[in-house]
A = this chain, B = another copy of it.
Amino acid sequence: MIRAGIVGGTGYTGVELLRLLIPHPEVEVQVITSRAEAGERVDAHFPNLRGVCDLTYTAPDPQALTKLDVVFFATPHGVAMDSAPELLAQDVRVIDLGADFRLANPEVFAQWYGMAHRAPDVLREARYGLPEYYRETIAQSRLIANPGCYPTAVILGLAPLLEAGLLQQETLVADCKSGVSGAGRTGKVNLIVPEAADSVSAYGVSGHRHRPEIEAILAEISGNTIELQFTPHLMPMIRGIHATLYGRLRQPMSDTNLQAVFAERYAQEPFVDVMPFGSHPATRSVRGANVCRIAVHQPRPGQVVVLSVIDNLVKGAAGQAVQNMNRLFALPETAGLTQIALLP
């Protein structure tokens, strides 16, 4: 059994990790930390876990964590970078669901996250945890930067075309819609039902932290500089990301060939579902499941629209983290990740 720990267990990615790891056949969660709730039972905060989880929150204690095989950080940026070096030194694998290791360049990190990177050495060792593009490097790594939720949806939707050099790079638009759980489990006025239900608005239009992450990874995959217009929107729903991706082809291409690019690229992927050409995936079709569904359109010759949906807490966070863990420990990649989406 893999002994696992979760740092920051009172947020949505923390409880989602528990939902996935408790029934996982090869894992036992032994430690879950929360500074604020130390000493309290986890299921007192998350009653969906009553009867299946006997854990109690503990205060973060580096000593306790070093006895584990893997530690998940479900924390805001700035936390994992302070603990990862010691854990790695003790041969504990680290999977950071926060942003500390997503940007390979520490200066870019500093620019977007407003703080100097405090662990640039281990940053060099971190691998981007998008298995569909970095499967091999993940397996050989000890420190995984679990991708952001928007980047997961956008990269999976655009990479097949960019990888093949089919798109004009300067016309990319990613118009993204996210459920409110993407903002975290936090008592902000703008997230309460009377403010955020029955309304739609954009945010961060002038610049969002996920843009440099997307651009850097897509540049790496495609071998070219990428400039993306990226607009996130807050949706009146709980879970789900819908990315509407716009690009223009360099050369004319039939719908059939366009579809084939995606179908072939993801033919062996257990967690990417390429739908029939011209489909309209709904976020509810992935609710609770570790899957990205993708559909391709060509409304007019040369104009490509890719629709990509994920559950931001599963394929966009905790599910992908478990997928990465499976890679780290040479388990079948689908272990513990076969939940069917909850519809309706």
Contact = CB atoms under 8 A, between A and B. Distances in A.
A340 B49 contact: yes
B202 A307 contact: yes
A-B CB proximity, top 4 nearest: A199-B284, A194-B344, A48-B341, A201-B282
A188 B278 CA distance: 21
Nearest to A49: B340
Nearest to A270: B51
Contacts of A48: 284-287, 289, 340-343
A226 to B, nearest CB: 13
Contacts of A313: 344
Contacts of A52: 338, 340
Nearest to A284: B199
Interface of A: 12, 15, 19, 22-23, 46-52, 171, 173, 175, 177, 179-181, 185-189, 191-203, 205-207, 227, 229, 231, 233, 235-240, 242, 244, 246, 273, 275, 278, 280-289, 291, 293, 297-300, 303, 305, 307, 309, 313, 338-344
A287 B285 CA distance: 16
Contacts of A171: 171
5 contacts: A51-B291, A177-B177, A200-B282, A201-B281, A205-B307
A192 B199 contact: no
A200 B15 contact: no
Contacts of A285: 47-48, 50
Given A193-B180, A238-B194, A273 B199 contact: no
A282 to B, nearest CB: 4
Contacts of A205: 278, 280, 297, 299, 305, 307
A299 to B, nearest CB: 5
A182 to B, nearest CB: 9
Given A198-B238, A240-B200, A22 B280 contact: no
A206 to B, nearest CB: 5
A150 to B, nearest CB: 14
B278 A206 contact: yes
B23 A340 contact: yes
A313 B344 CA distance: 9
Contact of A202 (B46, B49, B193, B244): B244
Contact of A340 (B19, B244, B280, B340): B19
B185 A187 contact: no
Nearest to A15: B343
A224 to B, nearest CB: 17
A258 to B, nearest CB: 13
Given A22-B340, A229-B305, A197 B194 contact: no
